[in-house]
Amino acid sequence: MVHTLADWLHRHALPLEVLLVVVSALVALYADTIRHFLSLPPQKLSTWILKARLLSANSKLFNLCECQNNPFITLLYISRTFILVSILGSLFIGGLFLEVVALRSAARGDTEFYSRFHQNMDISLALVFIVVVCCRLMLLGGFLYRLRNFKGYDHRLMAEVAGLEERLGISDETPSRPVAE
């Protein structure tokens, strides 16, 4: 069974690598919404997704407002992103060192240590690290750009929040009306 699975993985390595990289990019870009989605209790899927998007938009608006008013909070927000990027970067560099060790051991011919499967795995993991780091840095750049142009962007974000609240049936005029599930 294990041999059959390994053979199947060898034959379909490229599509699986592409799928892994695309999924990791989507998860890195929508991490905030996914986190909010998983934090909500299970409910009807469309309502669940709308609530997660609403929480994500509210948190983005809150972070922008807080960072607009306080430079220390801006520094904390930026450092939080750079800590994640530095951890992923150090794991990537560690993976490069392991790659060099594996290649040297394979070049010596001591063992059949470095197979085609290991090559595919190394390439896909390297791509995942690069894609996740680039996506997180891109999100940080977008956040800083919005922070710089906050006065024009806050109205759009508030309109998005209001649109999501309207779709969920939540409004400021009706106090605590239950959400349709």
* Stretch 59-79: mean pLDDT: 86
DSSP E strands in the chain: the ranges are none
Quote the CA–CA distance of 35 and 52 in Å, as a whole number.
8
- What is the per-residue pLDDT across 131-166, written as a single tens digit (0 to 9) for each? 888 888 888 888 888 787 777 677 777 888 888 888
pLDDT at 66 over 80: yes
pTM here? 0.66
What percent of the chain has pLDDT above 90? 4
pLDDT at 114: 59
Query: Across the chain, which distance is largest between two alpha carbons, in Å?
Result: 75
- H-only helix segments in 70-115: 71-108
39 pLDDT band, cuts 50/70/90, is very high
According to the model, what pLDDT value does residue 135 have? 87
On average, the pLDDT of the chain sits at 79
- Residue percentage of the chain with pLDDT more than 70: 82
Query: What local confidence, expressed as pLDDT, does residue 38 receive?
Result: 92
pLDDT of 85 > 80? The answer is yes
**Residue 63: what pLDDT?**
84
- Write out pLDDT tens, residues 102-124: 676 666 665 555 566 667 677 77
d(CA 141, CA 148): 10
Phi, psi of 41 (to 5 degrees): -70, 150
- Cα 37 to Cα 153: distance, rounded to the nearest angstrom: 24
pLDDT of residue 108: 67
